[in-house]
Amino acid sequence: MKRFKEWANRNSWWLPWVGVAASISGLIFPDAFIKTGQTLTELLRTLLQYWVHVLIVVWVVWVFYLHFEIQRLKKRKNTRKKQTKNKVC
């Protein structure tokens, strides 16, 4: 408890504003939070229903990402080799 009090005293300038911001957002946006929760629930339900399709799509996106990343790194490596050749000559 003593450590917490010391910490709270050191951070007393911003700590109350966290509570104020949480209270205001809870009063202003409760419907938005409920709708967001409902949307996330529907999204999870859809993902569970079509998990194989989602897995395939994620795998394809990952493969393309890796391919483009490898190409980018190869291009960067080649340009570095060219730059070092120019510096030596």
What integer pLDDT is reported at residue 15 of this predicted model? Answer: 65
Q: What tens digit of pLDDT does each residue of 15-53 get?
A: 677 777 777 777 777 776 677 778 888 888 888 888 888
Confidence of residue 81 (pLDDT cuts 50, 70, 90): low
Q: Residue 47: which of 57, 37, 34, 36 has the closest Cα?
A: 57
**Cβ atoms within 10 Å, residue 26:** 10
Number of domains in the chain: 1
Any idea which residue has 């079509």 for tokens? 50
Q: What is the pLDDT of residues 28-38, one digit of tens each?
A: 777 766 777 78
Range of the domain at 21: 2-88
- Dist. CA 41–CA 53, nearest whole Å: 18
Residue 62 has pLDDT above 90, yes or no: yes
- Which residues does 15 contact at the CB level (< 8 Å), separation at least 6? 8
pTM passes above 0.85: no
